[in-house]
């Protein structure tokens, strides 16, 4: 019974002259009890989390937030942080072999040193967005551009010259923001692209030819695995697909009642075979509940057991929303890649 029903009954009793205080008290107690039960919020995770918290492993961390922050955590403490001034959101980042960080932040791509100096920057053309970037060697950067049409672009950081530009399809050419998210080069020199607005992952060669497409409604992240398979992160699950487009492993979020993953973006396959799944929190749409803080990441085994969960929203280690989590001893991506003839 809700409050409206209770008031309706009470009015009826008064009209009939049958109002009895005890009845009113009983109805009130029943209403409060039922409404309290219906509005109780389920915890995102147990009070005590598995693993060793921030000390579980050393990692680099960044996420889409109102402020563009990035962190390096070692021995359970933040040892490096950087705030980029801009209006965008960090949706992709990688640590280069020289320690620099290359990151895509919606309205451009920036490379910053460990000394927090900007050593390279590329502004997205007016009306376009960039949500992913990957270094090729020391001089080149590949990125996909949300635009009309959407594009795969390779630029030379030293000369500023664009050396490759390929148009690729999008679900809605005029709705820039929702088109593309992550893209990753494979060991065979092709590119995997997460077409968010088309609900699929496609593989392209350096000529722009589509070689493979995989249905993935709600897709955000895509990773090329060492075994040749593809790890795909969608709103409802993370799943691994073979070169024959067969699903060989999956982790559906609806089955993880104790560890709620509500808005995943990027997943990483670790050397031990476990999968690291980031869980984003929207600062634009929600208010953080200090009494029920969402998870920022979980690590799950192949048999789907959660062995680590991250929840770091309080000082001195408030990491904010999670998009990218890269164990420092296991780089998620390297510069030792190529795109067809481009090395």
Asked if residue 336 is part of any domain, the answer here is no
What distance in Å separates the CA atoms of residue 89 and residue 158, rounded to the nearest whole number? Answer: 25
What distance in Å separates the CA atoms of residue 238 and residue 256, rounded to the nearest whole number? Answer: 12
Tell me the per-residue pLDDT of 88-102, one tens digit each, with 9 for 90 and over. 999 999 999 999 999
Residues 30 and 66 occupy one common structural domain: no
pLDDT for residue 17: 46
**What b-and-e string marks burial along 139-170, b requiring 16 or more CB atoms within 10 Å of the CB?**
ebbbbbbbbeebbbbbbebeeeeeebebebeb
Q: How far apart are the first and last CA of the chain?
A: 67
Return the SS3 of 284.
Answer: coil
Residues 158 and 268 occupy one common structural domain: yes
Nearest CA-CA partner of 275 in 284, 285, 283, 267 = 267
Residue 273 has pLDDT above 80, yes or no: yes
pLDDT for residue 40: 62
Residues 199 and 103 occupy one common structural domain: yes
Asked if residue 102 is part of any domain, the answer here is yes
What distance in Å separates the CA atoms of residue 197 and residue 181, rounded to the nearest whole number? Answer: 9
Q: Are 293 and 30 in contact (CB under 8 A)?
A: no
For residue 306, give both structure tokens. 């959660």
Tell me the per-residue pLDDT of 24-61, one tens digit each, with 9 for 90 and over. 445 445 544 444 444 467 899 999 999 999 999 999 99
Asked if residue 177 is part of any domain, the answer here is yes
What distance in Å separates the CA atoms of residue 262 and residue 282, rounded to the nearest whole number? Answer: 10
CATH of the domain at 279: 2.120.10.30
Share of the chain above pLDDT 90, in %: 83
Dihedral of alpha carbons 101, 105, 110, 112, sign: negative
Residues 21 and 111 occupy one common structural domain: no
Contacts of 276 (CB under 8 A, 6+ apart): 267, 268, 269, 270, 297, 298, 299, 325, 327
Residues 167 and 197 occupy one common structural domain: yes
Structural domain that includes position 30: 3-39
Asked if residue 297 is part of any domain, the answer here is yes
Tell me the per-residue pLDDT of 121-147, one tens digit each, with 9 for 90 and over. 999 999 999 999 999 999 999 999 999
Domains in the chain, number: 2
Size (the chain), residues: 343
Q: Supply the DSSP symbol for 253.
A: G
Asked if residue 335 is part of any domain, the answer here is no
Asked if residue 332 is part of any domain, the answer here is no
Q: Supply the DSSP symbol for 10.
A: H
For residue 167, give both structure tokens. 């148009």
Average pLDDT over residues 258-277: 95
Residues 35 and 57 occupy one common structural domain: no
Residues 119 and 219 occupy one common structural domain: yes
What distance in Å separates the CA atoms of residue 170 and residue 243, rounded to the nearest whole number? Answer: 23
pLDDT for residue 137: 96
Dihedral of alpha carbons 170, 195, 154, 93, sign: positive
Residue with tokens 């030293």: 158
Residue 20 has pLDDT above 70, yes or no: no
Pairing of strands 237-241, 230-234: antiparallel
**What b-and-e string marks burial along 281-309, b requiring 16 or more CB atoms within 10 Å of the CB?**
bebeeeeeeeeebbbbbbbbeeeeebebb
Nearest CA-CA partner of 210 in 222, 197, 201 = 201
């Amino acid at each position: 019974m809700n409050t409206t029903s209770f008031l309706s009954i009470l009015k009826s009793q008064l009209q009939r002259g049958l109002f009895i205080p005890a009845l009113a008290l009983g109805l009130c107690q029943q209403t409060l009890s039922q409404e309290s039960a219906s509005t109780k919020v389920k915890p995102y995770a147990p009070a005590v989390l598995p693993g060793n918290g921030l000390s579980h492993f050393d990692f680099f961390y960044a996420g889409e937030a109102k402020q563009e922050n990035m962190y390096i955590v070692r021995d359970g403490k933040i040892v490096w942080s950087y705030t980029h001034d801009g209006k965008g959101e960090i949706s992709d980042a990688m640590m280069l072999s020289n320690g620099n960080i290359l990151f895509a932040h919606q309205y451009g791509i920036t490379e910053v040193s460990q000394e927090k100096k900007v050593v390279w920057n590329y502004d997205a053309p007016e009306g376009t967005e960039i949500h992913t970037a990957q270094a090729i060697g020391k001089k080149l950067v590949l990125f996909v551009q949300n635009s009309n049409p959407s594009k795969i672009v390779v630029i030379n950081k030293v000369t500023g010259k664009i050396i490759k530009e390929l148009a690729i399809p999008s679900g809605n050419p005029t709705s820039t923001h929702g088109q593309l998210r992550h893209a990753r080069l494979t060991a065979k020199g092709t590119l995997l692209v997460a077409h968010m607005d088309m609900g699929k992952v496609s593989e392209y060669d350096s000529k722009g030819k589509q070689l493979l497409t995989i249905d993935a409604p709600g897709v955000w992240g895509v990773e090329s695995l060492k075994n040749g398979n593809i790890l795909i992160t969608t709103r409802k699950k993370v799943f691994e697909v073979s070169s024959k487009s067969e699903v060989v492993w999956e982790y559906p979020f609806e089955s993880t009642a104790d560890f709620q993953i509500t808005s995943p973006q990027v997943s990483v396959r670790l050397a031990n075979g476990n999968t690291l799944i980031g869980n984003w929190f929207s600062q634009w749409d929600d208010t953080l509940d200090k009494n029920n803080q969402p998870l920022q990441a979980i690590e799950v085994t192949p048999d789907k057991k959660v062995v680590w969960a991250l929840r770091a929203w309080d000082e001195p280690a408030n990491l904010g929303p999670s998009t990218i989590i890269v164990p420092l001893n296991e780089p998620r991506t390297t510069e030792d890649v190529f795109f067809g003839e481009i090395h």
